[in-house]
Amino acid sequence: MPTENHNSALDNLNFDNRFIRELPGDPEPDNFRRQVYAACYSRVNPTPAQQPRLVAYSKEVAEDLGLSAEICESDDFCQVFAGSRLAKGMEAYAMCYGGHQFGHWAGQLGDGRAINLGEVLNQRKQRYTLQLKGAGVTPYSRSADGLAVLRSSIREFLCSEAMHHLGVPTTRALSVILTGKQVVRDMFYDGNPQMEPSAVVCRVAPSFVRFGSFQIFTARDDIDSLKKLVDYTIRTDFPELGEPSIPVYLDWFKQVCRKTAEMIVHWQRVGFVHGVMNTDNMSILGLTIDYGPYGWLENYDPDWTPNTTDAQGRRYRFGNQAKIAYWNLVQLANALYPLIMRAESLQQALSAYTETFDAGWQAMMAAKLGLTMFEPGEDETLVNDLTQLMQAAETDMTLFYRQLADIDVSAEANSPAQFLALLQRTSYEPLSDDIMEQATRWFAIYCLRSQRDGRLALERSSAMNEVNPKYVLRNYLAQLAIDQAEQGDFSLVQELLEVLRHPYADQADKQSFAAKRPDWAKQRAGCSMLSCSS
């Protein structure tokens, strides 16, 4: 049980807690695993940490919340955001939701190891929900212990902030704090459990409502609770749409489709693979949520998934993310149908996803190649030929696009030598004669297309460097930071956090963070594929 409030700077946060004030809650006060009906949440307190110790915090998120560096580096900050103390105004609860996991309905899921502390209104009246991941058991924990390990907590913390600075819609992370407790985890579910340090991440987002939050009520034929949650979500997060009604429900669903499409376009732009696109991991705000066994493409492979659980079917592979997002939206449409009762209207609303994604993908690919606009037909062939080349050559996606900006594509250059050197430099295997011939042909077509586009060299390279990052959270870099942190050294976590704050800048003293994956990392645990164990 967290300690009682006492006077501190954190007690001055302005909590509003509209979610639990306006939505139906679980009447059962005790914290035991159970099915929860006709409720959006259950009240539950975090499990106090034994010896909380700060690993890192995000200064930008802290500033948004009105928290100074002095506060964030205080013992009280560790106590509150490790779950040992509830600050004034905090009302802790876990959310109820269901979901489709790997394409199959899984029934009730819920916040099994996430506990919301409440909703803060900052000085600009922006609403942020503070959520602790790894803070103990809840009624939704099923057979798990509700805790999270340091390795997954560092990965979530760093990736949340890296994605934000890349311009990808995402939840944020305020802090990661060690609890002082050791927990047992079988990282690859192979019968080799080990003791690992546990930690708590404080996630931050305007809302943590998911597709599955609506699905659970429709699956149980609880249309009254479904309507309450939909109306609340519109009034709170989409107030510009007006008072809830059937036309507004449809407008809202279109908005969700558009926001989801925009998020997926950004994932494809930077080479991010979520790994677990279950419907309970899809944010109603179009934010990247629930950073589990995610990964970043290194050698370009549209069939790659970072999730060991998905290794056979590869449902959530990089090249399938756009289709899965659409499939998930169809499940959301099915959940909303009892409020709308217009299948054709919902199908039309779904077209907003396809239209937004197609237009966004075309604009994104044109930008990555330094073109002012995408010319359908011609540029689709150009992109398809390039991705086939990159896959055959095992080309590092991030390095290739970033360095392509420096290649001379003018008529005067008229030589593929620079491009072939770039391709060899950014690929993980030597180039065969066939690949070199393929590359030479592609580069000639690309040069002609770029010349017709008419951009000056400096304008082209500057524009490309604004959308093609130099630094991403490569899997092996995250693992190196975790290795050090597990020995009590958080310096690499801090250094990575700082580098990833400026992913598009040329940071002269940080070139080692913009290098190809080393050979030793190709198959090492944590550097290639991961499980959901955390």
Residues annotated as catalytic (active site), given as ranges: 280
* Dihedral (CA of 172, 52, 33, 149) sign: positive
Distance from C-alpha of 198 to C-alpha of 55, rounded to nearest angstrom: 12
* Alpha-carbon Rg for the chain in angstroms: 24
Distance from C-alpha of 219 to C-alpha of 208, rounded to nearest angstrom: 20
Distance from C-alpha of 188 to C-alpha of 311, rounded to nearest angstrom: 12
**How many other β-carbons are positioned within 10 Å of the β-carbon of residue 93?**
24
Distance from C-alpha of 82 to C-alpha of 89, rounded to nearest angstrom: 17
Nearest to 447 by CA among 403, 413, 401, 397: 413
Q: At 188, list the tokens.
A: 């690859």
Q: At 145, list the tokens.
A: 């212990």
Distance from C-alpha of 390 to C-alpha of 298, rounded to nearest angstrom: 11
Q: Which residues in 429-500 belong to E strands, given as ranges?
A: none
DSSP string, 371-396: -SS--TTHHHHHHHHHHHHHHHHTBB
Q: At 187, list the tokens.
A: 């990282």
Binding residues for Mg(2+): 281, 290
Burial class of residue 154, CB neighbours in 10 A (0-12, 13-18, 19+): buried
Burial class of residue 370, CB neighbours in 10 A (0-12, 13-18, 19+): buried
Distance from C-alpha of 259 to C-alpha of 244, rounded to nearest angstrom: 19
Percent of the chain as helix, strand, coil, to the nearest 5: 45, 15, 40
Side chain identity at residue 128, one-letter code: Y
Q: How far are the Cα atoms of 315, 375, 382 from residue 378, in angstroms, in the given order?
A: 30, 6, 6
Binding residues: 110, 112-113, 133, 145-146, 203, 210, 281, 290
Given the DSSP bridges, would you call strands 127-133 and 172-185 parallel, antiparallel or unpaired?
unpaired
Q: At 272, list the tokens.
A: 């991010």
Distance from C-alpha of 240 to C-alpha of 243, rounded to nearest angstrom: 9
Tell me how far the alpha carbon of residue 486 is from its chain's centroid.
24
Binding residues for ATP: 110, 112-113, 133, 145-146, 203, 210, 290
SS3 letters across 422-480: HHHHCECCCCCHHHHHHHHHHHHHHHHHHHHHCCCHHHHHHHHHHHCCCCCCCHHHHHH
Distance from C-alpha of 350 to C-alpha of 260, rounded to nearest angstrom: 11
